[in-house]
Structure 1
């Protein structure tokens, strides 16, 4: 999203714009334009209708013919073909800076502007939003970029923006109603010294192979999708006295049907095993859940609600299998550069532990102007949480009252090499009852924030690939933790990016617990300073069908660990092929 495009096409009866050709402008400096015939003229209000837009002519609007001869408003008449340069305001009105009467009167229709949203829409189809118009892209649309014309590659997914979705291209379609698509990933991960103790040889090197094949069919408002997954891992421990081992599996992935405009126009019902994804992956991402899910959209507001559970995947952790999930999300695009989202997650656990969080979240996303992007996530957790007391064997269930936030800002000066600079801060609250002596019972509500268990905490800044934005080595859950991050990146070309990040970690309340990290070492619980980490991320994606990703991390332990604790490192390389 954000790329500036010129779209040539025609309007369809439903008001959408069917694209014959889309040209991507790599410079992105043309602004917004309309090219079409004048439909009506209002001399009193000094307004025109062009391509359905109300075009306001101001005293400083420059009016001319193609020969640069000046004209007056009275020369603008219905049926004339014009090029309008200007800016669209909220509500749809177009403020004209320049209007030029074109000599050739052939009925060409074009719009120029940034891509505001992308959404998949079945086999070989996608919907772009340009100038707030739904632009339909299909297999007959020519996409022209710096490397010349080619067909668009469209991702399969119930929500847009997920880099892990498979792609529909012209090559993997069979007729008008069927597509067979797939992906192959080759990865090698090398983790060293996860116990932060060099006197013990630990860590491992894990080459892995992953494959996915998907089948998609669509007839009018009916869509069905199913996929099969396979993976193979080989574990080579760094301790030469240990034996290497390997594992592999083949299983079903997503399998669902979608009914568009059901049970009412503007709604879609999806039933079956499906992926849950949101853009920052802070609440949930990439977990296949068996669900009944309803999507809806009205104007600038989109929403989804669902009821889900993990019924069949025995390889997943027990928490997922024991919980019934109620998830809701609403997004309101206040204007082109500002969006507001709200999230609700309830994971109802009927076991004795009653680990049933209720998370209510609010998110603001913005990119005002051309240099800044920002985000802010605020979350409150309620519900209940239980644990087994190791001394008494009793299960202690407490109410939860906790909070979390994640805020950040990225600055792009838009100069050579396209550098970017990011600063962010994240906090997951802790609870002083965690430090009670053994056998002493906690009282009051639990103030420790826990993420949903469905999160992945992955994202990208100005790069072409995503990474763990809380650190590649530590990669923690945001619980009882404060994380400060500084980042700098380069984008020397559209397919290549480099990011360097620095993280500083501090517990909110000193504790011996550190949730869901790559480390085997435990902090002392006496000092909150966990340490710091440097990460390097290199991404190369010359086209959507191929991606190369290299990541490295170096974690330096802090005072929360023993004085002789030594650094831990990780290095990962991954190549992905989509077909």
Structure 2
């Protein structure tokens, strides 16, 4: 059955590639590029995190940068005013003009909230702008209401969690969606982010050789404690992990259509376990990404990527992993198709050894920040006989057909995520037939102090009620998943539980939570999870617990998580603090003890 499915996916891959080459895109003839260093003006609506671009125009070079928007606050005692996310500094040399009367001038104490200002000046630090000239509109046009306009230089290009291009201008991510007006042509992303989607590109990224070479780095430290994860106070099972790492990344732009990207990391870690007599230390030097990228293959809207690259999607429910691959991407308006062959050359975890996979993803983006995708993932595992093992590990070759829908509405204050998959294939001598889904939603109240939000959802993966019937009904994820994302907060984290971190397999997980932002760069999340097995079993496919359930009761327990995130502390430092408390249920006996988890992370970007 699995081999027949493999033949089908190969036929589908060929069909999509032929369809992608059947006609040339009219848009591709008129593409406009906005590489780093290009001066542009972008008009849009700022939601507190991202500027949703309405219009994008190339501009000529100028001595000063510009910000145009509405006054949100005036601080006369500090000689400052607030326009969107920017703090505007005013001094005695700042020249005020009236847009309607050239002979009239204004002073800072005359400026009123709701007036529109056009400011020329320069940045003295991130988001802090020194005004040289300010033109004031006391009665702005209605068509300008709600718009923030930035004129300056493209600092970087990224791609967001929905695969939509981002331009960094004045340090602000500007989302270039399908509805963005670009006079004279269309824009297509020509570069990849210097950091993964759950991280951010540093504003202090260095550029050399007229912007063709970009360099960046990150220092990372994590201290983590796992307490009592065997759920018994009588046994010694605590564990402490420390990790230091440095990542260095480089982007070499060959031309507008081609680039080479590399990312390496050096890591040093130590592990202390109560039930081990020694401290385990590890030094690791690894290549995380190194690939060649070319767009516009044969004059068509097709891109080629080859090498070791990051496979990632918004919620990391299907995958978040670096793989050695060949990937083709076809993009046409709101539609895209991605086809790839991938494996891992090196020393992967034992369960992923001797694996390769075909992945086909079709995506439709009807509007900004909303996407619907179809995933077909065919995993083939062919382990060689290992004479050192007394029991040989079985091959597992699952075949996934998955659906994904992520989006926003209500001006971005309501978000939803829906992921689901049916799994066929083989596991050892058994056929696989299983189903799983993860449905979540979050509501933000942006008009209230702290922009509080609530979230909740249900994740469910089928179980096997008869292990001896030759069919494995236990749902499983791909093995490359992280189950890591965020709701409306600053930090992304394991949304199925920071302590348990389970794979969604033979499990039902109910999640409820809330959070708020006490400051623009700080968020606090509290999440509650209730875990139950779908079919009582004496094992968990993957979790951080060091004990197995009894196979009789289905109630695994509950977990409460606290996650605090801080970004841009001292400009370049991000911090994250996590605490998880697990209260076991009847599946772990009559009197199990609770478990704890805590970690603190520091990320310094340079």
TM-score w.r.t. structure 1 length? Answer: 0.72
Aligned ranges for residues 252-271 of structure 1 at < 5 Å? 252-271=287-306
Match of 1:297 in 2: 331
Match of 2:462 in 1: 429
1:357 aligns with 2:398: yes
Aligned ranges for residues 87-236 of structure 1 at < 5 Å? 98=142, 118-119=164-165, 128-130=175-177, 132-133=179-180, 157=192, 162-164=197-199, 167=202, 169-220=204-255, 221-236=257-272
Match of 2:138 in 1: none
Do 2:167 and 2:175's aligned partners in 1 also have CA atoms closer than 8 Å? no
For residues 213 and 560 of structure 2, what CA distance do their matches in structure 1 show? Answer: 46
Change (3 A) 1:166 1:366: closer
Do 1:550 and 1:571's aligned partners in 2 also have CA atoms closer than 8 Å? yes
Give CA deviations for 1:29-86 in whole Å, capped at 9, x if unaligned. Answer: 99997799xxxxxxxxxxxxxxxxxxxxxxxxxxxxx979xxxxxxxxxxxxxx9xxx
Do 2:55 and 2:180's aligned partners in 1 also have CA atoms closer than 8 Å? no
Change (3 A) 1:126 1:294: farther
Alignment size in residue pairs: 461
Do 2:54 and 2:181's aligned partners in 1 also have CA atoms closer than 8 Å? no
Match of 1:14 in 2: 31
Match of 1:393 in 2: none
What is the Cα deviation at residue 357 of structure 1? 0.4
Q: 1:366 aligns with which of 404, 407, 410?
A: 407
Change (3 A) 1:500 1:155: farther
Moved more, 161-170 or 411-420: 161-170
For residues 499 and 409 of structure 1, what CA distance do their matches in structure 2 show? Answer: 15
Change (3 A) 1:325 1:30: closer
Moved more, 265-274 or 23-32: 23-32
1:334 aligns with 2:366: yes
Match of 1:554 in 2: 581
Change (3 A) 1:365 1:161: farther
1:509 aligns with 2:535: yes
Moved more, 322-331 or 189-198: 322-331
Q: 1:379 aligns with which of 418, 421, 424?
A: 421
Do 1:155 and 1:166's aligned partners in 2 also have CA atoms closer than 8 Å? no
Give the alignment's Cα RMSD to 1 decimal.
3.5
Do 1:234 and 1:244's aligned partners in 2 also have CA atoms closer than 8 Å? yes
For residues 476 and 142 of structure 2, what CA distance do their matches in structure 1 show? Answer: 54
Three-state SS of the structure 2 residue aligned to 1:162 is coil
Q: 1:275 aligns with which of 264, 288, 310?
A: 310
Moved more, 245-254 or 271-280: 245-254
Give CA deviations for 1:66-113 in whole Å, capped at 9, x if unaligned. Answer: 979xxxxxxxxxxxxxx9xxxxxxxxxxxxx9569xxxxxxx99xxxx
Give CA deviations for 1:276-310 in whole Å, capped at 9, x if unaligned. Answer: 1011000000x221100011210011221100111
For residues 383 and 461 of structure 2, what CA distance do their matches in structure 1 show? Answer: 26
Q: Give unpaired runs (5+ residues) of structure 1.
A: 1-11, 37-65, 69-82, 84-96, 101-107, 110-114, 137-153, 387-396, 435-441
Do 1:128 and 1:135's aligned partners in 2 also have CA atoms closer than 8 Å? no
Do 1:156 and 1:168's aligned partners in 2 also have CA atoms closer than 8 Å? no
Match of 2:594 in 1: 567
Give CA deviations for 1:318-374 in whole Å, capped at 9, x if unaligned. Answer: 332311111121221123363211111111112383311001111112212133111
Q: 1:400 aligns with which of 432, 437, 441?
A: 432
Three-state SS of the structure 1 residue aligned to 2:352 is helix
Give CA deviations for 1:532-557 in whole Å, capped at 9, x if unaligned. Answer: 00000000002784310100100000
Do 2:177 and 2:368's aligned partners in 1 also have CA atoms closer than 8 Å? no
For residues 159 and 429 of structure 1, what CA distance do their matches in structure 2 show? Answer: 38
TM-score w.r.t. structure 2 length? Answer: 0.69
Do 1:261 and 1:267's aligned partners in 2 also have CA atoms closer than 8 Å? yes
What is the Cα deviation at residue 203 of structure 1? 1.4
Do 1:118 and 1:161's aligned partners in 2 also have CA atoms closer than 8 Å? no
For residues 191 and 216 of structure 2, what CA distance do their matches in structure 1 show? Answer: 9
Change (3 A) 1:189 1:134: farther
Q: 1:343 aligns with which of 375, 382, 390?
A: 375
For residues 35 and 577 of structure 1, what CA distance do their matches in structure 2 show? Answer: 32
Match of 2:84 in 1: none
What is the Cα deviation at residue 562 of structure 1? 1.4
Q: Give unpaired runs (5+ residues) of structure 2.
A: 1-28, 58-98, 102-115, 117-140, 145-150, 153-159, 184-188, 385-393
More helix by share: 2
Give CA deviations for 1:129-157 in whole Å, capped at 9, x if unaligned. Answer: 15722779xxxxxxxxxxxxxxxxx9974
Larger RCO (CA within 8 A; separation ≥ 6): 2
For residues 412 and 443 of structure 1, what CA distance do their matches in structure 2 show? Answer: 47
Moved more, 334-343 or 376-385: 334-343
What is the Cα deviation at residue 399 of structure 1? 1.2
Match of 1:419 in 2: 452
Do 1:550 and 1:574's aligned partners in 2 also have CA atoms closer than 8 Å? yes
Change (3 A) 1:447 1:170: closer
For residues 281 and 252 of structure 1, what CA distance do their matches in structure 2 show? Answer: 21
